[in-house]
Each structure stands twice: as structure tokens, then as C-alpha cells.
Structure 1
Amino acid sequence: MYKVIFRIKGGYGTSFRELRQANFTPIYFRKDKGEEYYITLFRGKDLSEVKEAILDLSYYLSKYGKYGDHNFATIYEVKNQNFGKVAGGALGALAGYYLGGLAGLFVGALGGIFLGELLDIEMGEKLVGVLGWPMSISR
């Protein structure tokens, strides 16, 4: 699995549709002074798949007048760990049961698993590289 951080400029609106078309799952979004900043996940086993998906994304974005710079995509390789999911699920279930009974147990467990997954991603990442906007796609 790979975590990719995108910095997108130009155009109007957000780029969620284009990210999903290129098989990226957005987990964080921020827009600041005309620049969109996305943290996404890509479930793939090979770095070449990620690079191909980034090229597809840049094509989809160029249709709407969006573009990137020399730091368009920052790629991190994420190890598949389970410690955060297990610990988060157990703590969330315990807190949910204490605060809300049996229904709180299920809701707390689901929330804890989600937060544990985010913790696993942050703890097990390794920088692979930074890709610029493809020159073959004109602005």
C-alpha cells in the first residue's frame, strides 16, 4: 500500500472525483490560496502501478485546467501492520461500553479500528520519492 500526497493548483472546485477515477482514496483534504492539498492511499503492490495512476490523475486534472509543480506527488510506502487496529479497536470498545453500553461497544470498536488504521499508516511509512507534473501533459 502507498500513501501519496498531492499538491494541485489551478481550476475550480475540488478534485475528489478525479482522485477516485485514478483509484486513490482521499483521507485528508485542505485548500489554501488556490492550492489543493490531498493525502491519499493507493492499494497496490508495485511502484509502477502508483506511477501509472499518478499519470492518469494528471490527465484527468488537466481536463479541468488543474496542474502541479515540481512537487506534485510525494510517495510513501506503507507497511501493512495490525497493532494500531487491534489496540484502537480494544480501547474504543472499552470506552464505548463504559460510556454507552452495548451499542457504544460496537460504535467505539469501529471508531477505534478506523483511528488505529490511520496510526498504522503514519507509523509504518517510508519515503519513496517525489514526482513532478508530467511534461507530456501540457497546461
Structure 2
Amino acid sequence: MTDQTTATFDELPALIGTDLGYTDYREVTQDQINTFADAADDHQWIHTDPEKAKDGPFGAPIAHGFLTLSLAIPMWTELFDVTGVATKVNYGLDKVRFPAPVTVGSRIRMNAVIADVTEIPGGVQLGVDQTIEIEGQTKPAVVSKGLYRFYA
């Protein structure tokens, strides 16, 4: 199990540059992909037709890029928490890229580094460099900057 970093609201400004480490690996399953396809109304065969995808460019179905990106939220909460705040908000993302596909059955994990801390009215915003890696591969699945707000 990953050790979660916990900080108080007052400690946030001092965390610039902090590498929060890695989450545990989690497997991406065909069931997850199919459920996401239903939610996103994106049933492209490369995601949802295992037989056809065998003959496709990746030799297997691949996860939607946005499915992989959405897993950044549970992985973020695995790595970091803030105590002593009234509200926590996922404010959005900057510079999202999908360098490599995640084939069904792959295991992924995330590394997060707090890149910047900015005061905002009533709180603090963290800019977090997030990299979702695929076990055994050199190219990451997702590279993004997560924006998280904490209000006192």
C-alpha cells in the first residue's frame, strides 16, 4: 500500500517541489473500458470489440485516453490529502497528453510532484505534475498538470 502524504492547510506553501511518490499499480480491465464507453457514448471498436482489436494497431483493445485520465482522481487521493480545510476542489487540468495507449489488462500507476502553490481568494491552488505510467513500458500513458484547490 502506498504511503499517503498528509499536510495541513498552513503547510501547503512549503510543499513546492515535493515528489509524492507512486501509487500502487491497478489493472485496466475490459469491463472498465466497456463501462466508460457507455458513460461517454464512445463505442469505437478499438476500445470495445476485443476480436476486431486483436487485428488492430495495438493487438488488443485499448482504454479511452479520458478513462485513463479519469483514474488520476482516485490515484491523486491515494497519494495526498489535506486536513483542516473546509472544501477540496478538483479545479481542472493543464497540458494533457496521451503519449502511449493502455491495452486491456495493462497495469498503471501515477507519480505526482507538486510543481507550484498559488494563493487564491480564500485558499490555495496546487499545480501538480502527474504522470500515469504503464508497467513495463518506457512511454507514459498520460502526462498532465492537475489543479487542485483547498479552501480554509
Q: Does the TM-score normalized on the shorter chain lie above 0.5?
A: no
TM-score by length of 2: 0.29
Structure with higher helix content: 1
Determine which structure has more spread, i.e. the larger CA radius of gyration.
Answer: 1
Structure with higher strand content: 2
TM-score by length of 1: 0.30
